[in-house]
């Protein structure tokens, strides 16, 4: 199968890019692992109850995407992208491929790992996980459900869960309490996009009105025999224990860089958000010809910024493939770029208000969940001469599991950095290769046996 | 716990025990709704594990689904009559291919 | 300034050479561009294999095998070596006949370690092997080790012997000093010695070129598939007669599938990328030989760069243009098992100008390209 543009990810950025590209006459293939469009932030938008204007606007955007004629494949897990534009994915247990003149990666974010002692116990999940359960299965918290960490998603989820009739036993604020003070200097600029601030305040008030305890805490541990039974933390100078059936952790989100890393795109360290992101220009172009990135995967900006970036990238790709003159591209993109700037004005404030938690796990804390490698073992490897994440990986097996370092990469790097007394940006991260998602040997073998062509639906 | 008023009209079998499920949800969601949080034990230490990220990134929600092991239950939609078992340790590929 | 050596390259061959030099009382510095074990030494299938080697390598491999059996005495750790066997299966009668000829050829040369086994014995050794396999060639006490563990053990022993390891030192030039010694110029400094070992793997030919010596040698970018963990179902490491395959279940239970299927290499950036078509070929061969693997998940792949000579034999011996420089590279994807012995040979050549260890077939002269006069 050949297409002009292959888009990986059907969240706001991917959807907006697809619709825009179709308007310029491109053939477009969109691939997403989920059962339907929306990505994380608009998950299950076509099937769940709608709440408020944001949801309604999102659904309209998705409808426009559905009507655009882009070929959308769901339940499609991309496991390889070649720089020449071939994309491989698995769908229905079969490996397939398509050749694209350009590839747009819009795979969004992953949660920043927040390892605490006991975080691998059944009953400890991420806030994002609970939000997925709410949106796709109508599940709401009841009984002793605790939230812990920091970040806008934690507030948003709490408000959504309460609005859906859920009960939250309490929120543990794991920050040091100084974030508002540090954020205040950025407030004037943030007022260019006041809706973000209004939302955040509203979520916080909803929690207060519902009487959900908000406790500043540290040294959180999850405990139990075979599953989570209680949480233990330090607050007000004393060690406190609470029964808990579920603990939801959150420490912000970071760009998902599996595909861009495996491709060999250049990455830059974001000093504010303490994460790696692909090096991109204003159009979303990477260091590789014919590979662009749009949305939170290029740097955290939120859903509106993602949509705008998707459209901007599509316009640029249209110009790059000769469908649009550069002048026409610039004319069409100008209002989008300006709108994006306005929405990005709130970022310095939000980034300071919701800055990542310091990483200093106790030795006993598992860092690599897949291979059960503790922080102590990682520190030991450093003391034995391992300088970076790949050496530590070869020596301890950290990062060798199924998740390919999605859950542990940032924290292992931070622990190595601290042990060596260098900055995390100086630690060589895990070297990634395709396949970036598992597929069976049989599926891969079948690709060789007969080249699979994907029949395009009628455009 | 995570709960919901409408349990759904589909039925799954978890280790022989019938549990309700809703059309369009993932296997992991249905199990969580039934109060099941441990889906497997690890091949490394035998520690119990269950869903963590619910988005296909952590690989902790693996279970044996309709006889096939190492299935990411958060990425698979429920079907009426689906059989799910815990995956104990490393995937028992030999019994999958002879069974 | 007698008895001072520099080893270029911190892989297993460099560390082995440094160890033997230091144990003989020499003062040694290892210069490593990245970190110890960065390239093929730290990431390979760990095959400790005499089976199927080119006849000219067997003598050295036998010496190495003895050292593997006693690795703990040599470096303080056994490197995870287990003599679980190496098996090369025949998929039809023609291939089995070829194996019988091979075993006879070796017996005629005095080697009895390779043994032909029938269908029943093959099945006993490999219960999960496909039904069409008719027999095999076996070396029962060959096996596999843990590459990174081995590298770290050698590193530890080398440091304990007083060797200095300089990581992050990239060699830029090799010069002759006024006093007739060799000076190695790196980005981080210069080191002087009477002898230099070129153990720089895929980058060793460039070192040779810098002293006016063109040794025919290219690169390969072999790929490896790593699967999810499985209950133990195969003990030996498995290969085939006619199709590229290396199949081994690690101590952790994962299965490594290799065989020399090539990715795409870029030595300038020290990177290699996976070639999906070739990876699919490897997957196909593995599932045909072990049908139970069809539904098994691939968790990741790796792809590394190593040197490859036109005859797949290493380059071991003194430089033809630079006295005092001794080469040890070009192991073409099967140097891991040889390293303990190769290092001893190279150290002897450096210290005494010659060695009794069986490395004569690997002298650089056979691959030297002479430019037209």
In terms of CA atoms, which chain B residue is nearest residue C292? B97
Nearest CA in chain C to A399: C300
Distance from CA of B44 to the nearest CA of C (A): 8
Could you give the domains of chain B? 9-89 (3.10.20.440)
Inter-chain residue contact A132 with B55, CB threshold 8 Å = yes
Q: Note the Cα A338 to chain centre separation in Å.
A: 25
Residues of chain A with Cβ-Cβ distance to B74 below 8 Å are 132
Q: How many CB pairs under 8 A join A and C?
A: 97
Contact C300 A433 (CB under 8 A): yes
CA-based nearest residue in chain B for residue A243: B1
A137 → closest Cβ in B33, B53, B58: B33
Average pLDDT of the residues of chain A: 94
Nearest to B96 among C128, C253, C295 (CB): C295
CA distances for A98 relative to A101, A265, A323, C140, angstroms: 10, 21, 21, 46
Give C 163-182 residues with CB within 8 A of chain A.
167
What's the start-to-end Cα distance of chain C, in Å? Answer: 37
Nearest residue to A195 via CA among A57, A73, A342, A69: A342
Confidence of residue A458 (pLDDT cuts 50, 70, 90): very low
Lowest-confidence segment of A169-173, B45-49, C366-370 by average pLDDT: C366-370
Which of B63, B90, B96 to mutate against chain C (most C CBs within 10 Å)? B90
- CA neighbours closer than 13 Å in the CB half-sphere of residue C14: 37
pLDDT at residue A457 tops 70: no
3-state DSSP helix/strand/coil % of chain A, to nearest 5: 40, 25, 40
- 3-class secondary structure, C173: strand
C233–chain A Cβ distance below 8 A for any pair:
no
CA quadruple C330, C240, A434, B91: dihedral, nearest 10: -130
Average pLDDT across each block of 10 residues of chain C; the chain has 373 residues. List them in order.
Answer: 90 98 97 88 88 98 98 97 98 98 97 98 98 98 94 95 95 94 96 97 94 94 96 97 96 94 83 92 97 97 91 97 97 96 98 96 94 50
- Chain A contact for B69 (CB, 8 A cutoff): no
What residues pair up with C7 in beta bridges, in sequence order? C30, C197
Chains that touch A (3 or more CB pairs under 8 A): B, C
Show residues of chain A in contact with C286, CB under 8 Å.
441, 445
List A98's β-bridge partners, or say none. Answer: A87
- The predicted structure's pLDDT at residue C271: 80
A454 pLDDT tier (thresholds 50, 70, 90): very low
Q: Which chain B residues contact residue A40 at CB under 8 A?
A: 55
Assign A196 a pLDDT band (cuts: 50, 70, 90): confident
pLDDT digits (tens, 9 = 90+) for A286-341: 999 999 999 999 999 999 999 999 999 999 999 999 999 999 999 999 999 999 99
pLDDT at A453: 44
| Chain C environment of A96 (Cβ under 8 Å) | none
**C251 at the B interface (CB within 8 A)?**
no
Query: Chain B 7-26, CB below 8 Å of chain C: which residues?
Result: none
Check if B68 contacts A (Cβ < 8 Å): no
Nearest to A114 by CA among A17, A310, A248, A273: A248
pTM of the full structure: 0.94
* Cβ under 8 Å to A: C residues 186-205: none
Residue A198 pLDDT: 86
Alpha-carbon gap, residue C157 to A459, rounded angstroms: 66
Q: Which of A239, A307, A248 is nearest to A111 (CA)?
A: A248
Calpha distance A290→A284 (Å, rounded): 11
Nearest to C35 among A80, A387, A400 (CB): A387
- Pairing relationship of beta strands B83-85 and B10-14 according to DSSP bridges: parallel
Compare all CA atoms of chain C with the CA of B71 and give the residue at the minimum distance. C297
Distance CA A224, CA A295 (A): 39
Q: Rounded distance, CA C342 to CA C198, Å?
A: 13
Q: Which residue of B has its CA nearest to A127?
A: B53
C54–chain A nearest CA distance, Å: 30
Query: Which conformational region is residue C271 in: left (phi greater than 0), alpha (psi within -120 to 50 degrees), or beta?
Result: beta
The pLDDT value recorded for residue A451 is 52
pLDDT mean over B39-63: 98
Residue A452 has pLDDT above 60, yes or no: no
Nearest to B55 among A123, A128, A228 (CB): A128
- Ordered strands of the A230-235 beta sheet: A218-223, A230-235, A238-243
- Report how many Cβ contacts below 8 Å link chain A to chain B: 115
**Percent of chain A surpassing pLDDT 90:** 88
User: Which uninterrupted H or E stretch holds B98?
Assistant: helix B93-98
Length of chain C counted residue by residue:
373
B36-55 residues touching C, CB cutoff 8 A: 43
User: Is the minimum CB–CB distance between A98 and chain C shorter than 8 Å?
Assistant: no
Q: What is the average pLDDT across A254-275? A: 95
Nearest to A435 among C228, C281, C298 (CB): C298
- Asked if C230 lies within 8 A of B96 by C-beta distance, the reply is no
Residue B54 to residue A33, Cβ atoms within 8 A: no
| Identity of the residue in A88, A264, A441 whose CB atom sits nearest the CB atom of C298 | A441
Residue C42 at interface with chain A, using a CB cutoff of 8 Å:
yes
Nearest residue of C to residue B68 by CA position? C295
> Subunits touching C (CB < 8 Å, at least 3 pairs)?
A, B
């Amino acid at each position: 199968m050949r297409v002009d543009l292959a888009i990986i990810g059907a969240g706001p950025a991917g959807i907006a890019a697809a619709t825009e590209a179709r308007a310029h006459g491109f053939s477009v293939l969109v691939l997403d692992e989920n059962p339907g469009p929306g990505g994380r932030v608009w998950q299950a938008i076509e099937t769940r109850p709608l709440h408020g204007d944001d949801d309604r606007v999102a659904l309209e955007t998705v409808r426009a995407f559905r009507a655009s004629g882009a070929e959308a494949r769901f339940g499609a897990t991309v496991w390889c992208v070649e720089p020449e534009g071939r994309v491989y994915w698995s769908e229905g247990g079969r490996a397939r491929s398509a050749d694209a003149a350009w590839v747009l990666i819009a795979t969004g974010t992953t949660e920043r790992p927040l390892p605490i002692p006991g975080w691998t116990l059944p009953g400890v999940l991420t806030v994002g996980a609970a939000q997925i359960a709410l949106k796709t299965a109508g599940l709401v918290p009841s009984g002793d459900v605790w939230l812990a960490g920091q970040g806008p998603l934690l507030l948003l989820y709490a408000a959504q869960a309460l609005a859906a009739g859920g009960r939250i036993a309490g929120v543990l604020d794991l920050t040091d309490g100084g974030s508002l003070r540090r954020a205040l200097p950025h407030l004037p600029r943030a007022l260019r996009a006041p809706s973000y601030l209004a939302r955040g305040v509203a979520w916080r008030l909803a929690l207060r009105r519902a009487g959900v305890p908000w406790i500043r805490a540290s040294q959180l541990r999850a405990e139990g025999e075979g599953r989570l039974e209680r949480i233990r933390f330090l607050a007000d100078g004393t060690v406190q224990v609470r029964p808990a059936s579920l603990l939801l952790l959150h420490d912000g989100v970071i760009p998902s860089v599996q595909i861009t890393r495996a491709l060999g795109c250049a990455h830059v360290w974001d000093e504010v958000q303490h994460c790696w992101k692909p090096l991109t220009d204003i159009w979303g172009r990477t260091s590789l010809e014919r590979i662009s990135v749009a949305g939170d995967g290029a740097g955290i900006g939120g859903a509106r910024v993602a949509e705008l970036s998707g459209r901007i990238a599509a316009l640029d790709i249209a110009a790059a493939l000769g469908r649009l003159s550069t002048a026409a591209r610039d004319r069409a993109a100008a209002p989008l770029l300006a709108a994006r700037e306005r929405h990005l004005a709130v970022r310095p404030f939000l980034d300071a208000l919701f800055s990542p938690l310091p990483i200093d796990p106790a030795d006993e804390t598992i860092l690599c969940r897949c291979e059960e490698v503790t922080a102590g073992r990682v520190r030991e490897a450093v003391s034995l001469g391992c300088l970076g994440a790949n050496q530590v990986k070869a020596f301890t097996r950290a990062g060798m599991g199924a998740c390919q370092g999605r859950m542990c990469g940032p924290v292992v790097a931070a622990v190595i950095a601290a042990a060596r007394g260098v900055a995390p940006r100086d630690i060589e991260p895990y070297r990634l290769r395709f396949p970036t998602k598992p597929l069976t040997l049989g599926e891969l073998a079948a690709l060789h046996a007969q080249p699979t062509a994907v029949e395009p639906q009628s455009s | 716990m995570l709960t919901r008023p409408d349990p759904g009209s589909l039925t799954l079998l978890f280790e022989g025990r019938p549990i309700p499920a809703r059309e369009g949800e993932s296997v992991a969601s249905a199990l969580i709704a039934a109060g099941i949080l441990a889906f497997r034990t690890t091949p490394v230490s035998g520690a119990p594990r269950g869903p963590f990220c619910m988005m296909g990134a952590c690989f902790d929600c693996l279970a044996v689904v309709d006889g096939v092991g190492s299935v990411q239950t958060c990425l698979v939609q429920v079907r009426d009559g689906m059989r799910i078992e815990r995956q104990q340790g490393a995937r028992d590929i030999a019994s999958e291919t002879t069974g | 300034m007698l008895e001072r050596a520099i080893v270029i390259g911190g892989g297993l061959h460099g560390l082995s050479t440094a160890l033997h030099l230091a144990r003989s009382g020499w003062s040694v510095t290892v210069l490593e561009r990245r970190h110890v074990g960065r390239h093929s030494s730290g990431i390979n299938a760990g095959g400790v294999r005499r089976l199927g080697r080119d006849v000219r390598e067997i003598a050295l491999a036998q010496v190495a095998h003895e050292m593997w059996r006693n690795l703990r005495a040599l470096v303080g750790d056994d490197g995870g070596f287990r003599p679980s066997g190496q098996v090369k299966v025949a998929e039809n009668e023609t291939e089995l006949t070829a194996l019988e000829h091979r075993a006879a050829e070796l017996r005629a040369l005095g080697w009895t370690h390779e043994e032909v086994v029938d269908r029943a014995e093959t099945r006993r050794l490999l219960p999960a092997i496909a039904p069409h396999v008719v027999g095999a060639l076996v070396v029962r006490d060959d096996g596999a080790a843990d590459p990174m563990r081995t590298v770290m053990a050698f590193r530890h022993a080398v440091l304990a012997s007083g060797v200095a390891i300089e990581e992050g030192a990239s060699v830029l030039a090799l010069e002759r000093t006024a006093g007739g010694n060799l000076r190695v110029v790196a980005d981080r400094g210069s080191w002087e010695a009477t002898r230099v070992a070129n153990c720089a793997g895929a980058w060793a030919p460039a070192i040779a070129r810098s002293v006016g010596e063109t040794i025919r040698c290219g690169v390969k970018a072999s790929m490896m598939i790593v699967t999810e963990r499985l209950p133990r179902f195969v003990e030996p490491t498995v290969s085939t007669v006619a199709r590229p395959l290396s199949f081994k279940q690690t101590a952790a239970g994962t299965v490594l599938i290799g065989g020399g299927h090539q990715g795409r290499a870029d030595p300038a950036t020290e990177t290699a990328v996976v070639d999906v078509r070739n990876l699919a070929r490897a997957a196909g061969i593995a599932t045909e030989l072990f049908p139970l693997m069809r539904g098994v998940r691939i968790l990741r792949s790796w792809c590394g760069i190593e040197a490859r000579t036109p005859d797949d034999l290493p380059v071991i011996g003194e430089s033809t243009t630079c006295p005092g420089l001794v080469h040890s590279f070009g192991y073409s994807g099967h140097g891991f098992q040889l390293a303990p012995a190769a290092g001893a040979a190279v150290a002897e050549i450096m210290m005494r100008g010659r060695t009794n260890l069986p490395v004569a077939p690997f002298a650089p002269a056979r691959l030297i390209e002479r430019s037209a006069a």
